[in-house]
């Protein structure tokens, strides 16, 4: 894992943290604030991205870390899917949807890049 000594130093984790901030802000400031089920699912999946990167890193086992990175990517897809539900039910506007989708896709890409880096190490 090179020079990374803390999960907080992982760029993919940092980007996931930003995704969480934006998801929570959206859930607070839109109709999602009243849809407890979808709001909670969306928030949990966003937090899961961060948590899986951190947990995998702290396992100190390269194979387990790779597994947790795959799970984190899956959580990014879950965020994206929940956003479609929020859009389709009129709980978020198209602009919010597109912004959060971009954040989730960017986070997934950052995780993928990190996975490629680990596979060449």
pLDDT tens-digit series, residues 44-57: 999 999 999 999 99
Rg of the chain, C-alpha, whole Å:
15
Q: Other CB atoms closer than 10 Å to residue 33's CB: what's the count?
A: 12
Q: Which CATH class is domain 7-120?
A: mainly alpha
Taking CA atoms, 96 is separated from 16, 23, 60, 82, 100, in Å, by 17, 10, 37, 13, 6
pLDDT (average), residues 40-69:
97
Q: What mean pLDDT, rounded, does the chain reach?
A: 95
- Whole-structure pTM value: 0.93
Distances (CA, A) of 99 to 62, 76, 114: 33, 14, 23
Check pLDDT > 70 for residue 32: yes
Instruction: State the pLDDT at residue 1.
Output: 46
Rounded distance, CA 17 to CA 20, Å?
Answer: 5
Share of the chain above pLDDT 70, in %: 98
Q: Which H/E stretch holds residue 96?
A: helix 94-120
């Amino acid at each position: 894992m090179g020079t990374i000594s803390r999960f907080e130093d992982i760029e993919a984790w940092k980007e996931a943290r930003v995704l969480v901030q934006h998801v929570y802000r959206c859930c607070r400031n839109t109709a999602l604030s009243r849809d407890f089920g979808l709001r909670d699912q969306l928030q949990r999946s966003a937090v899961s991205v961060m948590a899986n990167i951190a947990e995998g890193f702290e396992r100190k086992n390269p194979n387990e870390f790779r597994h947790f990175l795959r799970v984190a990517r899956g959580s990014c897809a879950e965020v994206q899917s929940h956003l479609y539900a929020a859009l389709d039910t009129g709980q978020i506007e198209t602009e919010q949807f597109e912004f959060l989708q971009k954040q989730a896709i960017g986070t997934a890409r950052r995780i993928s890049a990190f996975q490629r880096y680990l596979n060449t190490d």
